[in-house]
Amino acid sequence: MSTAQMYHDEGMKKFNRGAHAEAAAAFQKALAAYQAEGRTDMVGEMQANLGMIAREQGRFDEAQNLLRDALAIFEESGDAKRTAMVKANLGGVLASKGDKEAAYDLFVESANTFQELGETEMQGQILKSMATLQIKRGKLGQGREILADAVGLTGADTFSARLLKAAVNVFSFRWVGAARRLISRR
């Protein structure tokens, strides 16, 4: 096992335990080692990992820059799967920053790529993010339709999916009730 891989594995273990600062230090070491080995693809992966840590820590500008750097590497190398994953993660960062339109566009691109690759589970996960985003934007009907597609693709009727569906229905009923009250006042 190379030194870079050792730091990479260490970073993943620490990230999964929620030790983000320690994970970032390991990923930084892995990034430097991968650069020394000339492994551009893995440099991109470490940048993406560091971007996700920055996102978790609320450092959205830094996360955006790291993810854009990783995206450029994966697009240049023609790695469609990693490109789609980074676009989805970048979409999440942009949504957190309030740029919901750009976030949605990245989610669409990512979901389309996963569909082309036959990665239905990943496509379904991205569709769930799209549905959540549309609901937050007040586009409840579209959010509900996207969510139905997502649940259909993932085949997972998980608690979180059921909770999200229930939230959409509650908001829809409230919206319809508010509209009826407004109409009846006229």
16, pLDDT greater than 70: yes
* Cβ-based neighbour number of residue 92 at 10 Å: 22
Architecture label for domain 3-185: Alpha Horseshoe (1.25)
Where do we find the tokens 């959409």?
Answer: 168
Distance (Å, whole) CA 175 – CA 178: 5
Distance (Å, whole) CA 56 – CA 47: 14
> Which tens digits make up the pLDDT trace of 39-93?
999 999 999 999 999 999 999 999 999 999 999 999 999 999 999 999 999 999 9
Residue 1 confidence class, pLDDT cut points 50, 70, 90: confident
* Cβ-based neighbour number of residue 40 at 10 Å: 14
Q: Where along the chain do its domains lie?
A: 3-185
Token pair in block for residue 31: 């990034």
What dihedral angle (degrees, nearest 10) is formed by the CA atoms of 104, 65, 77, 15?
Answer: -90
> Which tens digits make up the pLDDT trace of 17-35?
999 999 999 999 999 999 9
Query: Could you tell me the pTM of the whole model?
Result: 0.80
